[in-house]
Amino acid sequence: MLCPKCKKNDSNDREMCPYCGAPIKPIPVPAGGKIKFGKFDWYILEKQSDRALILTEKVIEKRAYHGEETEVTWESCDLRKYLNGEFYYSFSESDRNRIIEVTNVNADNPWYGTNGGNPTNDKIFLLSIDEVIKYFGDSGQLESRYMYPNCEWCKDEFLPWIDDQYNINRRAVDDMGIVQFWRLRSPGANSRCSASIGGFAGDGFDHGEINIGNADLLADGHFVQDGCGWLSKEDERHTLNGVRPALWIRID
């Protein structure tokens, strides 16, 4: 298939270009459709009688989950402070008056048991692992992890991600049209990293998986990532993950 962005042909007919990371097959719009709110386009994930849960269509920026390499939860991370502070106040007063503060449950990591922290009162937040599965498709892999016992670089019995038919639903591009990683508020394999959705990594795979663990080989041979670089800074081995804010707004 021919990539619409870089014009290179992928003989394996993948949905995402292995050369530049642009989607070859269009990313589906959720059943709720799209709206404009503030300066962004948003997907409508859920509608209730007087409110709607919305998520930015695109990855709007790359930002550290926390500015220090330390154990942290969503409650105490810098990204939550930014979203509910500077980012919230970037909206007009009339738009801010439509944003509803909600109480979010922050569950422990379902596979690694990492502490998710206390419930939080948020105006703006990131989705959780459970919410991504609820709104983008449930293949059942959260409960029945699939085995990958013959992998030379993975010493664990199970891979640390959900890779299924809903990958395409979870992909998101940036303003350049490249599929990017985007953060979840759920903890990762330990308290120094967060879960995420996969994006272009230059490895030739279609991405959009839910990274419930993450992916560095530890000294003891187990395939879980300590995640420091993914949390706080960019270096030659790690890049900051993208941000897709979510919020509830009042509707007519």
Q: What percent of the chain shows pLDDT beyond 90?
A: 67
Given a contact cutoff of 8 angstroms between Cβ atoms, the answer to whether 163 and 209 are in contact is: yes
Q: With contact defined as beta carbons under 8 Å apart, do 32 and 52 qualify?
A: yes
Over the stretch 141-150, which tens digit does the pLDDT of each residue have?
Answer: 999 887 765 6
* Closest among 120, 136, 126, 124 to 170, alpha carbons compared: 136
pTM for the model: 0.90
- State which amino acid sits at residue 160: P
E strands, the chain, in order:
34-37, 40-47, 51-56, 61-62, 99-100, 102-104, 120-122, 124-125, 161-162, 182-187, 194-197, 210-211, 242-243, 246-250
Domain chopping of the chain, boundaries = 34-250
DSSP SS3 for 2: strand
pLDDT one-digit tens code per residue, 151-200: 665 556 677 889 999 999 999 999 999 999 999 999 988 887 889 999 99
pLDDT digits (tens, 9 = 90+) for 52-93: 999 999 999 998 888 877 888 999 999 999 999 999 999 999
DSSP three-state, residue 68: coil
- The C-alpha atoms of residue 188 and residue 129 are separated, in whole angstroms, by 10
Backbone angles phi, psi at 186, to 5 degrees: -65, 145
Centre a 10 Å sphere on the Cβ of residue 223 and count the other Cβ atoms it contains: 21
What is the number of residues in the chain? Answer: 252
Q: Give, rounded to a whole angstrom, the gap between the first and last alpha carbons of the chain.
A: 43
